[in-house]
Every structure is written in C-alpha cells, then in structure tokens.
A and B are shown apart, each in its own frame.
Chain A
Amino acid sequence: MDALLDLLKKNARETDAVLAKELNTTAGDIRARIAAYEKEGVIRGFQAVLNTDRLESTDVRAVIELRIRPEREGGFDRIASRISKFPQVESMFLMSGAYDLLLFVKGRSLQEVANFVSARLAPLDGVLSTATHFMLKTYKDQGVLMESEPHDDRLQVCP
C-alpha cells in the first residue's frame, strides 16, 4: 500500500507540507495524490476515532448478525445494498460462516435499536433471521486503543 495512505490512516489531519517532508516530495504532489485517490474512490472519507464511552451520551451500539436469502440474480448484493442505506447502520460486511451480513448499528437508546431491528430489518423480504448483540464497552476501534499505553516514560536524555 502507498505509504501516503498509511500515514493518512494514522493521522488524516496531517498537513500536506508535513506529509511531503515525510515522503520526500512536494505538498503539491501530496494534494494531487489525495485528490486522485478520492476520485478513484479509494479514499471514501476522513473521520475522527472517538471513545464514545467518554462522552456524555446515551447512544447505544449493537452488532447484528443477519441471515438473508440470496437472490437468483445478484446474490446478496441487492438486499445488502438496501440495508446498508439505513442511517442507523454504521458499518456492514458480508461474512462467511453461520450468518451472512454483519451490521454495526447505532441508536439513541436500546429501545430505538430494538425497534429498528423488529420494525425495519426483520420484516424485509429476504431476511431470514437476526441476532442482536449490544456493545458494552469499547477497548479498541479502527486500530486505536481507547486507553493509551502508559505515557512515554523514557529517560529524557540517554546515550
């Protein structure tokens, strides 16, 4: 993978000037490469990774396993694409194994998520079953630990 993408994955807010120095190129080149990735659809967006446990928020998140019936034309894609458009669905993946789709869902309350599953997902034509697991605590998200490792405790000057 392009080192630029690695650096952006680590810190998408890094300035073009600093990225350019790290990669031994010019800020103009960095801008052009990012623009090209956006145009190609490789870069789909830039987001902050939050520890929502630390926010005064009552939002709940749940993981939902969905079994669906594939269609003769298009397999899982049509129904999957339909489900993915619900704003409650934050992430969604097609899986191998005991179920087909794995959804990461967010709602303002337990009730809201429960309603979403029972009123919107389960009745959909082609959905065979759902299994909902509520998330209790986040330890790591997007490769980022929610509790930092101990602060840099190296000696301030050493040989």
Chain B
Amino acid sequence: MTTDSKSARDFIAPHVRGLPKSGIRDFFDIVAGRKDVLSLGIGEPDFQTPWHIREKAIESIERGATRYTSNLGTPELRQALAAYMRQSFHAEYDWKSEILVTVGVSEAFDIAMRAILSPGDEVLYHEPCFVAYAPLIRMAHGVPVAVETFRKDEFRLTVQELEKRVTPKTRALLINFPNNPTGATLDREDTEALADFVIRHDLLLISDEVYSELTYEGGRHSMASIPRLRDRLIFLNGFSKAWSMTGFRLGYVCAPAPLTDAMMKIHQYCMMCASSTSQIAGLEALQHGEADITEMRDSYNQRRSFIVSSLNEMGLDCFMPRGAFYVFPSIQSTGLTSQEFALRLLNERSVACVPGTAFGACGAGYLRCAYATGMEQLKEAMDRMSSFVKSL
C-alpha cells in the first residue's frame, strides 16, 4: 500500500460528507433495543393497511402481475389519480403527461429538486419541518434556506418571514401542510398569500401535501386548487399516510407536462418505475378506500383531542393542530431544553418523543409527539409524562 492512496472515506463526495445525520436517527439509536419504551416518536400510522388493499396486492402477485410497468406508472393508476385530483382539489391534470407515480413522496421530492436546480440555486423551505428536505436540496446541489414559523402563528408560514429570506438566487419555495412535525395547516387566505408571493418573485412552488387527507377541521386548502399557480406548481402526494401504506413506498407528482417530463427523465434512469404490486394496491385504495380514510381520520381526531387536552392539563402549552397526526407542545415552562426533556423523559419514564430541534433550530423548546398510536399506549404515555413534569 502506498502512503498517498485514498481511504474509503476520501471517496465520498464533499457535499455528501457534509450532510448532517438526521436528529431523528440520533434519537432512534438511543431508543433502539429498549423494550419497555412507549413511543410517541413514530411518524407512521398505527393502523394496518386496510385488508382489501393487502388482499388486492396478494391477488396480483398470485396472478403474476409482477413486471415493470410504464415508467410513469400504470395507466389505470394515473387515470384514477387524475380523477382523484379533480374530485378532491378541482385540479385538472392530464394522466398521460402530467402525473408521475414515484417510490414514495421522498423520491418525488428528490427528482423534483434534481430536475429544477442548478448549483447554487436557493430553495426556501419552512422550519420546523420534515428532516429530509434540506439534505435533498443539498444533494441536488441547491442551497436550502430555512424560513422560521412560530407558535404565535400556529406554525403557519407567513409571507412576512418569506420576504426576509428571498434573494435573486431563489428558485423555488417548498411547503408542507398539513405539517410534520407541528400539525399546522393553511387557511384559504394563507394559500392565496403564498400564491401571490411565488408569482411576485417568479418562483416555482413545490407543495408536499402527503397529510392532506388527515385534515380535521377548517377544510382542506390545497395549492393545487389555485389555478394561477398551475404552471409553476409541483404537487406531491402519496398513499402512506392516507391509507397506512408506508411500506408500499408509493407516491406521485402532478406538474405541468414539461416539468413532469424532466422529472420523468431522472425517474426512468434511476428508478424505472414504482413497484407493480404497490401500484395495484394504490389503485385499490383510490377506488375503494374512501371509507378507510374516514374511519382512520375519525380515530386520529379523537386521539388528537385527548392528547392536546392531556398536554395542556399537565402545563405543557399545546395548540390544537388541525392536520396530520402530530402535536408540538412547548416544554419551555419546564426550563429544560428539548433535548434534555426528551432524554430525561426517556430515561426516567421510558416514553420516547422527538426533540423539536430534530426538525430545525427553531424547534428548540418544543417536542414532537405523534399520536398515531393506540389509545391504551397514549393514555399510559400521558400518565407517565404528567408524572415526569410534576417531578421537575
């Protein structure tokens, strides 16, 4: 071996080496292997995938429907998605050229970034947010620019904050409502104001609405429903949250034909197509799964009321989020940092919540609690948390 040969680490590209490890991952490593833990840290529905969807997937494997599909996704699924977009959001997308089925929303977001960014382009996104956004922007050689959201606005994104961060290099705005980790949603006035903002600055808008079906009150206000955005909107959605299909890895993107075509180029070379089994399951969900959503949403809604009222009772300020399955209580009254609170709660009471800082610096002083867990566990977790807060 010569002295100037590279170590394995040296082969890693600098922009990948520089990516931070997810704060969630850190916390997962601490929790992993502990059996007694009640976890409110799971960003995943607790329901089994509805049986008729699983049954349809099994049946499709039995009859051998296990081949590649069209790169864009099966025509049947895209047609059903076009109908869904029309029915849910009054949005018209041509199934032949404007809808692309992806391996989860994560892939959709990845190919969207790679399709639109040149090195140095800035992308505005709001924090606290899902952990993957900033890294995915970086991996596409873009520059993520965080915009803060605040408790006083119930973590809505305001144009006032956006204006502070927009520059001539800003290429796109990324939003995610209903939001992980805060449960925040947008009203009609919010979506209109954001639409005006992106048009005023001539930006592209990427809207990740994967929690859209889990909106409990105030109505669903999709960016896809705003006609003047049509030529500058990349709409992302998936099946994981609405139908509890996380492991199927099935998402989709709706965008004007030239953008869909650009994303399709990347998708066809790196992914070929989404899993054929998952696409069949997804079609079943769209065609016969409306009642599943209602049932799950009603159940989450009851747990939401329970957890918000329990947290406020124990003195942790928590606004009533109107979407997703997360609450984002403030733990500032305890005098602990998010990290300290989460670690001590885990060590002293065996309850896992994710520190707000895992979702961005402005999550400091908050905690993410996912209520997509059974009522029995939720009750026990709230009891333990309450006794922990009292002990401080």
A interface residue numbers (CB < 8 A to B)? 3, 6-7, 11, 14, 18, 21-24, 149, 152, 154-159
**Chain B 298-339 interface 0/1 with A at a Cβ cutoff of 8 Å (1 = within):** 100011011001100000000000000000000000000000
- The reply to whether B46 and A152 contact each other, CB–CB distance below 8 Å, is yes
Chain A residues with CB under 8 Å of B32's CB are 156
A-B contact pairs, 26 of them (CB 8 A): A3-B298, A6-B298, A11-B375, A14-B375, A18-B375, A21-B305, A21-B309, A21-B310, A24-B309, A152-B374, A155-B28, A155-B42, A156-B28, A156-B352, A157-B24, A157-B27, A157-B28, A157-B31, A157-B39, A157-B41, A157-B352, A158-B44, A159-B22, A159-B24, A159-B130, A159-B131
B37 interface residue (CB < 8 Å to A): yes
Any A CB within 8 A of the CB of B48: yes
B180 in contact (CB, < 8 A): yes
Number of residues in B with C-beta < 8 Å to the partner?
Answer: 31
- Given the interface pairs A3-B298, A149-B48, the reply to whether A157 lies near B305 with Cβ below 8 Å is no
Interface assignment of B198: CB less than 8 Å from any CB of chain A: no
Given contacts A14-B375, A159-B43, 15 further A-B contacts (CB under 8 A): A3-B298, A3-B302, A22-B303, A23-B302, A24-B305, A152-B374, A155-B42, A156-B41, A157-B24, A157-B27, A157-B28, A158-B24, A158-B28, A159-B24, A159-B180
B354 interfacial by beta-carbon distance below 8 Å: yes
Bound Cα distance from A7 to B131, whole angstroms: 35
Contact B302 A156 (CB under 8 A): no
- A7 to chain B minimum Cβ distance, whole angstroms, is 7
8 Å CB contact of A158 from B42, B302, B310: B42
Residues of A within 8 A of B28 (CB): 155-158
Q: Which residues of B are at the interface with A, using a C-beta cutoff of 8 A?
A: 22, 24, 27-28, 31-32, 34, 37, 39, 41-44, 46, 48, 130-132, 180, 298, 302-303, 305-306, 309-310, 352, 354, 374-375, 379
CB pair B306–A154 under 8 Å, yes or no, is no
Main secondary structure of the interface of A (DSSP, over half): loop
A22–B24 touching, CB < 8 Å: no
Given contacts A21-B305, A22-B302, A22-B303, contact A154 B42 (CB under 8 A): yes
Q: Which of B42, B354, B374 has the most CB of A within 10 A?
A: B42
Most buried by A among B24, B28, B302, B375: B302
* Distance to closest chain B CB from A142 (angstroms): 17
**Pairwise interchain contact B42-A156, C-beta atoms closer than 8 A:** yes
Q: Whole-angstrom distance between the alpha carbons of A155 and B27 in the complex?
A: 12
- In the complex, which residues of chain A have a beta carbon less than 8 angstroms from the beta carbon of B305? 21-24
Which of A6, A23, A156 makes the CB contact (< 8 A) with B39?
Answer: A156
When distances are taken between beta carbons in the complex, the residues of chain B under 8 Å from A22 are 302-303, 305-306, 375
CB proximity of A9 to chain B, nearest CB, Å: 13
Give, as a whole number of angstroms, the nearest-CB distance from A135 to chain B: 23
Residues on the A chain within 8 Å of B22, using CB: 159
| A-B complex: 6 closest residue pairs judged by Cβ atoms | A157-B41, A22-B302, A157-B28, A21-B306, A21-B309, A24-B305
A74 nearest CB across to chain B (Å): 38
Q: Which residues of B contact A14 (CB under 8 A)?
A: 375
Complex CA–CA separation, A148 to B306 (angstroms): 25
* Distance (whole angstroms) from the CB of B181 to the closest CB of chain A: 9
